[in-house]
Structure 1
Amino acid sequence: MKESVVIQQKKSPNLNFSLLKKDLVFTISFILAAISCFIHLPKIEYINFHVLISLFNLMLAIKALEELKVLDKFAISILNKSKNSKSVSGILILFCFFSSMLVTNDVALLTFVPLTLLISKKTKINMIDTIILQTIAANIGSSLTPMGNPQNLFIYSFYGLKPMPFFMAVSFIAVLGIGTLYFLFQRLEPKEIKVDLYPVTVGDPKKAIVWGIVLVIIIASIFGVISYPIALFITLGTACIVNATLLLKIDYLLLITFVCFFIFIGNISSTTAVQTFASMSMKDPSSVYFSSIGLSQLISNVPASILLAQFSTDWKPLLLGVNVGGLGTIIASLASVISFKLFNQANPNESKNYLIKFSIYNFAFLAFLASAQYLIFIILDIL
């Protein structure tokens, strides 16, 4: 008996890499962050705590509303008004497009992608295309307003822009984007919805109202109306009083993934090579435009806008480039990471299929919108 114990102890330990295999985006972000630390030492200021805390607050509030069956009630109301899966998709895509103009692309996706996943589960219909189009819709819709995404807010304040020139600059992308989304939406196959829709009762209406108020406070903190530490205190306090188990149900890997990307982006942006590229490639509006698109693919559009703004006084091609550049790779806009993480959490076996379809859709959009906008540059220059 002792001998068998000795034999067991001599066995080499089996390291569990299932988490790394399961969560591809986390794995990639972790590897990129680790490698970049050998190139440049990370700094605490690379991490955007406003974004992280806002994401945590939103995940907690959405999870609470989900458990109280508020999302179920919302989902059933959408299904009751829809004839088939295609009309459901249309509603969900439009929700993301228009809401992202007001509450940012991150918030729009964090709110409506879980709703899409819930409807997909209830109807047993694969809505992978819908979620990808929702992501594109949020990234395009958010380009239309200064508060729609962080890069717009930065450029708007950094260059001291006025509302009318801003809207005139981005309106073409938004109109062309929604037109292209409509074309792709029409290609979705309408499937009959076969589901027994039983009336849903909200778990506790009083708690739902409380969390609804908390959600409003969180969104107010995103707009800077109240400070985000106060919003965190209120959200955590509400969770501890109302339902502390919610704190165990948050996707903390999503937050760690964002930390890894912040470290990678900060390290890479600080390298001499990137700084030299930025300074040498900002000679005229066309180079500013294409440089901002290209750099967004590597370090995402928010840090790309912050970095390139230091080397150019030409705000319009930079604004258009980082907004178009939010399409393409999954890290071109970190809002896209949110959609993928939410989808992967519900459908871990479909992650590869999602990334392939996501890349096809996004690079097609990127090529089309980038070319169309560049033609507008040329036409306006001739006129």
Structure 2
Amino acid sequence: MKQSVLIQENKRLKLKFGFLKKDIVFTVSLILAVTSCLIYPPKLEYINFQVLFILFSLMLTIKAFEELRFLDKFAIAIINKCNNSRSVSAILILLCFFSSMFVTNDVALLTFVPLTLVVCKKTQMPMMETIIFQTIAANIGSSLTPMGNPQNLFIYSHYGIKPVPFFSSVLFMAALGISSLYFLIKRMKNRELKVVLTPVPLNDWKKPVIWGLVLAIIIASIFGVVSYQVAFVVTLITVIILHVKLLIKVDYLLLLTFICFFIFIGNISSSSTLQAFANTSMKDTTSVYFSSIFLSQFISNVPASILLAEFTTDWKPLLLGVNIGGLGTIVASLASVISYKLFIQANPTESKKYLIKFSIYNFSFLAFLTLIQYFILKIF
């Protein structure tokens, strides 16, 4: 009887705290925030509410598009017209690159990697390379816009960057990345192939149009055309009217992760020792650039950007560093973890092979883009 009670209690604890194991980045951020609060008193001013409100608005809107399967419909319509394996792979990779600019790299991969796995199952065509290239494409493509990934949104807001300087800073890197991917796509094996996927019905076009307008308002708030408070209110009202259940489908752990990192970094930045160390190790463009790339490999690029932003006013090498730093290790960008999990769920015996190939391609891109962009930074 006593043993049965203990087992039940253990199950309850697992259910209650299971999410901590599931989202390791949030768990780490929570531990860091709580620990730092024991040393330094937290302040409300540490939290960047503009980033949180814009991110929440984006998450709601993108979740709405996910529910409507708008991207799926568009992708399936294109893939059904392809007649060879290389064109199918090219479309799936390019869709990740371009869609990630607007719906974030995470959502691009959550949408198109499952579609790639369906194509793989229907055609018996190996798609491991395609999924790895999709991951690289999403990470590079998302770097091109402020709303493409969370670190860009944070840096854009934190430093108050204007659109022209932002785009001019990341354009060359993104162009170089997609050009390299195009070269690799051209080298992929090719065979005749006709894919027939069931079209996704979209009977009501009003909702996609409405959500498109909401997304346009959110983007306008990112660029300072309208206030982020207005964009948030418009998004919230639209959610309540059209699909109130979206409010329980948002990834709140991501928002809490940001809050925890804001508190942790705000607290530790009060340390005179850390400030002295940061001022010594991040004294120029080169050190900021390489520090952001290096740190991203271990703690991922989102927390790296929040941490390093406290110790430098030089936003350009930081922006480039954390975006290039999303390549490399599997944890450098959390989007990479998403595609890996989706792949091994469908192919559990190919985990090791995937990680080896993933590492070879990602570290090659990391080294290539790091060196080229470094010379560009030094010249300009």
TM-score (norm 2): 0.71
Report deviation, 1:261: 4.6
What's 1:215 paired with? 215
Correspondence 1:1-383 to 2 at 5 A = 8-9=4-5, 13-15=9-11, 16-17=13-14, 26-40=23-37, 41=40, 42-84=42-84, 86-98=86-98, 103=102, 107-120=103-116, 122-125=118-121, 129-130=129-130, 132-141=132-141, 149-150=152-153, 153=156, 157=160, 163=165, 167=168, 172-186=172-186, 188=188, 195-267=195-267, 271-297=271-297, 298=299, 300=301, 301-303=304-306, 306-310=309-313, 317=317, 320-329=320-329, 332=332, 336-338=333-335, 340-341=337-338, 344=341, 353=351, 360-374=360-374
Q: Distance in 2 between matches of 1:220 and 1:373?
A: 29
> One-letter code of the match for 2:112?
T
Q: Is the 8 A contact 1:292 1:308 kept in 2?
A: no
Q: Distance in 1 between matches of 2:88 and 2:156?
A: 32
> One-letter code of the match for 2:62?
I
Report deviation, 1:74: 1.0
Q: Distance in 1 between matches of 2:228 and 2:104?
A: 18
Counterpart of 2:23 in 1: which secondary structure? helix
Shift in alpha-carbon separation, 1:238–1:183, aligned structure 2, 3 A? same
Shift in alpha-carbon separation, 1:188–1:255, aligned structure 2, 3 A? farther
Counterpart of 1:309 in 2: which secondary structure? coil
Q: Is the 8 A contact 1:97 1:140 kept in 2?
A: yes
Report deviation, 1:79: 1.0
Q: Is the 8 A contact 2:329 2:362 kept in 1?
A: yes
Q: Distance in 1 between matches of 2:118 and 2:254?
A: 25
Counterpart of 1:201 in 2: which secondary structure? coil
Q: Distance in 2 between matches of 1:189 and 1:59?
A: 37
Shift in alpha-carbon separation, 1:177–1:13, aligned structure 2, 3 A? same
Deviations 1:81-129 (A, max 9, x none): 333454344234334545666x4xxx34255334304523542458665
> One-letter code of the match for 1:246?
L
Q: Is the 8 A contact 2:29 2:257 kept in 1?
A: no
Q: Distance in 2 between matches of 1:267 and 1:360?
A: 38
> One-letter code of the match for 1:112?
A
Q: Is the 8 A contact 1:154 1:306 kept in 2?
A: no
Q: Distance in 1 between matches of 2:216 and 2:55?
A: 14
Report deviation, 1:318: 5.1
Report deviation, 1:57: 3.0
Q: Distance in 2 between matches of 1:265 and 1:132?
A: 33
Cα-Cα RMSD: 4.5
Q: Is the 8 A contact 1:20 1:27 kept in 2?
A: no
Q: Is the 8 A contact 1:61 1:215 kept in 2?
A: yes
Deviations 1:339-373 (A, max 9, x none): 64587589768799477765554433222322334
Q: Is the 8 A contact 1:68 1:204 kept in 2?
A: no
Count of aligned residue pairs for this structure pair: 363
Q: Is the 8 A contact 2:214 2:234 kept in 1?
A: yes
Q: Percent identity?
A: 50
Shift in alpha-carbon separation, 1:45–1:320, aligned structure 2, 3 A? same
Gaps of 5+ in 1: none
Shift in alpha-carbon separation, 1:322–1:57, aligned structure 2, 3 A? closer
Q: Distance in 1 between matches of 2:163 and 2:3?
A: 72
Q: Distance in 1 between matches of 2:85 and 2:19?
A: 29
Shift in alpha-carbon separation, 1:46–1:137, aligned structure 2, 3 A? farther
Q: Is the 8 A contact 2:289 2:318 kept in 1?
A: yes
Q: Is the 8 A contact 2:83 2:195 kept in 1?
A: no
